[in-house]
Amino acid sequence: MLSFITWTVDPVAFSIPFLGREVRWYGICFAVGFAIGSWLVWKQWKSEKLPEPWFDKLFLYVVLMTIIGSRLGHCLFYAPLHYLSHPWEMLKIWEGGLASHGGTLGIIIGIWFYCKWVTNKPMLWVLDRLVVPVGFTAAFIRLGNLMNHEIYGHATDKPWGFRFTENLVYVRRGMEPVFSAPSHPTQIYEMFFYVLTSCICMWMYWKRKDYNYAGLIFGVFLTGIFLPRFFIEFLKNVQESFEADMTLDMGQWLSIPFIVAGVYLTCKGLKARLAAPSK
């Protein structure tokens, strides 16, 4: 049995010579995740015979606000002094730096505008449908982090520990790779819980019709995504130096409000389902 896994994947999937551009696995994973999520929401839309123009506008709101929210979340949660001093650098999204908590906030804000300007439906009506496949999308984004050799955990003696390349820039210039100690592949841990959460949400939507109980699916989604994230953070290396002396890191502090909201909405939705007349 292997005592560890040496991860040597090149983050660049391929290059486009005549454009002088590289296409990275992270971008491909991001796009594939959104494509799968959009297709699954479209299946829900068709099943409920909802207006097609609503779906087209929903896709635009969600994609735009996910990118804006993720980028602003990284800049303002993890390096506010730098980015507030150099605000134009917030636009350099191609250099990396996206935060899932910011993306979640961005989606919620985008849905508020979407409900106000497009559907005139309550936000929870939309969110209970939208989040069903979001875990799959989030799992693909974490797969992109794995391909980038980033956001991994502390050293471990477990046989599934990964040795990640720490000098990727120099390896691409011909230098020998420098590997981390065998470390927790926390990207994979999170991927597991994200996929599990989406499977539960799909079961709730398709089999139990739980979208009839406002906030129930959304509450399960928030709890299923952010509660595991809270505990997995204990295994992760800190993302920014200021987190080193914190009892809880930034990702954990940002997860707590989502966990509280998720538990509250789940309990409220379960209470409504129990009170509903049996058919």
Q: What is the pLDDT of residue 178?
A: 96
Ranges of residues in the chain with a pLDDT under 50 are none
| Mean per-residue pLDDT of the chain | 92
Distance CA 130, CA 161 (A): 34
DSSP state of 210: G
Strand, helix or coil at 208?
A: coil
Say if pTM beats, i.e. exceeds, 0.85: yes
Write down the pLDDT at residue 96: 67
In whole angstroms, give the CA distance from residue 119 to residue 114.
7
Question: DSSP readout, 74-94?
Answer: IIIII-HHHHHHSGGGGG-GG
- Note the pLDDT of residue 278: 65
- Whole-number pLDDT of residue 97: 76
